[in-house]
Structure 1
Amino acid sequence: MKRGSNMPAVGTYNQTLVLDMIRRSPSGLSRIELAELTGLSAQTLSNVARKLSLAGLILEGDRVVSGPGKPRTMLQLNRRARFAVGIHLDPSIDTFVVVDLSGSIVAHIEAPPEDTDATPDLIAGLAASAHALLRSADVPFDRVLGIGAALPGPIDDAAGMVLTPPLLPNWHHTRVRDLLIESTELPVVVEKDVIAAMVGELWADADHALRDAALLYYGAGVGLGIAHDGDAVRGRTGNAGDIGHLIVDPSGPPCQCGMRGCLGVTVAPERLLFDAGITDSLETPWGAVPAGLDELRTRAQGGDARALAVCARAAESLARAIVLVNNMLDTGTVVIGGPAWSRLSELLEPPLRAALPTIPQITTTRPLRLVEARLGTDLAAAGAACLVLDSMFTARASDLMISAS
């Protein structure tokens, strides 16, 4: 449990700490409960609560009687005090969401990727969709904290630039952050998509069950989000989590890296569609992939042997990847989600869970805990929006650092 400080120099830390605790308690918290949780004095806590109330971030709730003494007034999050926009760029579909201060999605749209390689048009398309979504949700512009953009890696995190993601050639070397700031007049933060997804799951994790966890993201590609002590692991360049070349089947399909059975090519959606006989080529247009996965699900649910075999192989490959990742990280908890997973989860999850304890490479001493991502198909987009909230409203020990002048 994080503790507060009564030092005058750390007022901002205390405010974010108290706000975070109130946010994670749906019914709110009383001042007495907050004092017990944070270790703050009554005077410090009173000052913090007053500042949060004046900023419109918290509201006075109902009085609650719990035993002898005065009734307690509950402090509750004002969910509509602030909002953030999340954008996820994906080869098959772009996703846009608006979240409120609690991280709950209040508006959502999907749009086909812009069919152009002209950077101004690409950025203008994102800006137009974001503004249209805010208008449709009736969100006051002055309450929008900013935009988070989840991008396939690799990225240049310092420059806010997407570099050379193989599935998004039109976006290569685009300064997404700076251009989107110019186009929307809003603050913008960019992040690799799997890291954004991990941030979103942490933001939604009210009971702190994911303080140390891994997130397997399964969409157009596969990636890994990692949480350590409640923070997403970004790595030195913001590109942590590339597990596409983890070998899960030495006799599997060839990969462009020269090896066989890399996770990325083994469970690639276009590979599954080809192996199931839904397509006759591995060069499936990305716009057709979601419908193809829906067809794969329908065939498997109908008992089609070929479709069932494809799902079983994919589940075993994912299980092997999860075991290998957990051997290395020893998190014990693995979240799984993403667009491809959301479409196939009811077929993949049972055989995946059954396969986990049978993988011969397993070395950990306790059973793995596998949980479904809470943010569903909006995992990366909602995570991107939560990046904005997280950067402003999550208390971290580093905020206590005082530099000498």
Structure 2
Amino acid sequence: MALSPTWTNKSRTRGLILDAIRAARTISRVELAAATGLTGATISDLVRELIDDGLVVEAGRGAPTGGKPRTLVQLDPRARYSVGVQMERNTCVIVIVDLAGRPVARTSFQGVASMPPDQALPMIASQVDALLATAAVDRDRVLGVGLVSYGPQDRRAGVLLSPQPSEPWLEYPVAERLAQSLGLPVLLDNDAAAAAIGEYWMGAVDRRSTYGCIYMASGIGGGIVVAGEVYRGSSSNSVELGHMSIDINGDQCPCGNVGCLENFAGPSALVRQAAATPALAERLVPDPDTADFLTEFARIAAAANAGDPAARDLIERSARYIGAAAVTMTILFDVDAIVLAGPSFAVAGSIYQTVIQEEVDRRTVTWRTHPVRVMPSVNGPDAAAIGAAALVLQSELTHGRTRTEEGRGAGSHARPVAAVAGD
């Protein structure tokens, strides 16, 4: 049922207050009014409602300012939870996060690439159920599940628009089927977009800033966040950095483009390059035909970190290609910072960060009106999974949306959350 305009406006106002409390960690009502532009009366009424709903608690008194010390409020982290599922081509990571966005439980497993979706999704559901039970999280406090994967995808329909890891996954209703297995709403999204918003939710970036995220797992993706909102484009398939062309005479990519960045700088490309480099092929014996590029790439990265000159040369060359993408991101979106997220950056992050920062500094000198900082994700290799859970929190709590409004992939059985999002 559609929300009335009054209901919607109140929900969004509650969301604005919740987001300000989340960003500040602890804050007074007076400070909330200054941060949101709302009147003191509105702040008092809605904070009282949030306390009654169990989402917010009082947290003592602030420092004296010449008058009566102000009462501080903060989120109750245990009031609500969400689940994040990152479905990589061969690896799946599942996290549970609390209302403050902090991970409380995690698990991972491999083998998804070898299964059709009608086998893989029930396996994912059983792992989610087991993790919730192990963490002793009350399912009634779980807002939903964020399922993130590579693009392209139809976010609203909850389907992947790619035949990877195998043909049966193409246009399979992944969100709906997982929701049916779990009895929880499921929100499908892009892994790089999720990793990007996870930085905002964890307070690693200024909430008013514009920043980019380059995400690298077995492939390369990107995301842009403007004042806490992910830039979506017309179909939510934007900023696919891995498929920007860096060589118009390059080989054709399965995506249809030619000379794609991913085919020069991605983990699978480096595994192939290592196999063709005699010094590395003899020492590391990389398998260019493996489905598990992450493990093979991690071995190359470990060798580079240990000082192997051939391995370091491969990583630095990859970093310079990705640096070119970072320069393009800087010029197109005028970002304040670029976050490097994902498991592949996690294993060789210091090399990538140094080289990409050098490329951005060197190649944008005439464009820069402010410094652009290249920095590692605060969420490490689990950035996409944590971000997936954060997207659920953001959708349900700060945007004031109901579960069924946010994603039709959740199915009609998903229970409404009007009492959570705003009432």
Please, which of 133, 136, 139 is the counterpart of residue 137 of structure 2? 139
User: Which residue matches 2:24?
Assistant: 25
Q: Which residue of 2 aligns with 1:230?
A: 228
**What is the aligned partner in structure 1 of residue 194 from structure 2?**
196
- Contact kept, 8 Å, 1:270 with 1:284, in 2: the verdict is no
Q: Following the alignment from structure 2 to structure 1, what is the Cα–Cα distance between the partners of residues 131 and 90?
A: 20
Q: Distance in 1 between the 2:163 and 2:228 partners? A: 28
Root-mean-square deviation (CA), in Å?
2.7
1:42 to 35, 40, 43: 40
C-alpha change, 1:13 and 1:156, in structure 2 (3 Å) is closer
1-structure distance, mates of 2:209, 2:181: 36
Greater displacement, 79-88 / 297-306: 297-306
Deviations 1:339-384 (A, max 9, x none): 1111111222222222333348974454422122222111111111
Aligned to 2:339: 335
1:222–1:342 distance in 2 versus 1, CA, 3 Å: same
- 1:270 aligned residue: 268
2:313 is aligned with 1:309: yes
Between 1 and 2, higher relative CO (CA 8 Å, sep ≥ 6) is seen in: 2
Equivalent residue letter for 1:22: I
Partner of 2:73: 75
- CA distance, structure 1, for counterparts of residue 21 and residue 195 of structure 2: 23
- Give CA-to-partner distance per residue, 1:318-355, whole Å, 9 cap, x none: 11111122222222422111111111112222222223
Aligned equivalent of 1:296: 300
| Cα-to-partner distance string for 1:15-68 (whole Å, 9 max, x where unaligned) | 222221111122x11222223333433332221111101110011111234132
1:6-25 alignment, distance < 5 Å: 10-25=9-24
Q: TM-score when scaled to structure 1? A: 0.87
Q: Distance in 1 between matches of 2:214 and 2:347?
A: 15
CA contact (8 A) 2:20 2:36 kept: no
Indicate how the Cα distance of structure 1 residues 86 and 168 shifts in structure 2: closer, same or farther if over 3 A, else same: farther
Tell me the SS of whatever aligns to 1:86. strand
| Partner SS state of residue 244, structure 1 | helix
2:50 paired residue among 35, 49, 52: 52
Name structure 2 gaps, 5 residues minimum: 1-5, 275-279, 401-423
Match of 2:325 in 1: 321
* Number of aligned residues: 389
Q: What is the percentage of aligned positions where both structures have the same residue?
A: 31
Say whether residues 1:377 and 2:381 are aligned partners: yes
Q: CA deviation at 1:249?
A: 5.4
Residue aligned with 1:190, SS: strand
Q: Distance in 1 between the 2:255 and 2:62 partners?
A: 62
The alpha carbon displacement at 1:198 in A equals 2.0
> 1:106: how far off?
0.8
Quick one: structure 1 residues 370 and 70, their matched pair in 2 at CA, closer, same or farther if it must change by over 3 Å? same
Select between 58-67 and 337-346 the one with higher mean Cα deviation: 58-67
2: distance between equivalents of 1:285 and 1:121?
21
Alpha carbons 1:293, 1:344 under 8 Å: kept: no
Deviation at 1:161, TM superposition (A): 0.7
What code does the residue aligned with 1:389 have? L
Would the alpha carbon gap of residues 34 and 301 (structure 1) be closer, same or farther in structure 2, given more than 3 Å must change? closer
The letter for the 2-side match of 1:283 is: P
Relative to structure 1, the CA distance from residue 334 to residue 258 in structure 2 (aligned partners, 3 Å threshold; closer, same or farther) is same
TM-score (norm 2): 0.84
What's the counterpart of residue 290 of structure 2?
285
CA distance in 2 between partners of 1:198 and 1:100 (Å): 18
Distance 1:192 1:324 in 2: 20
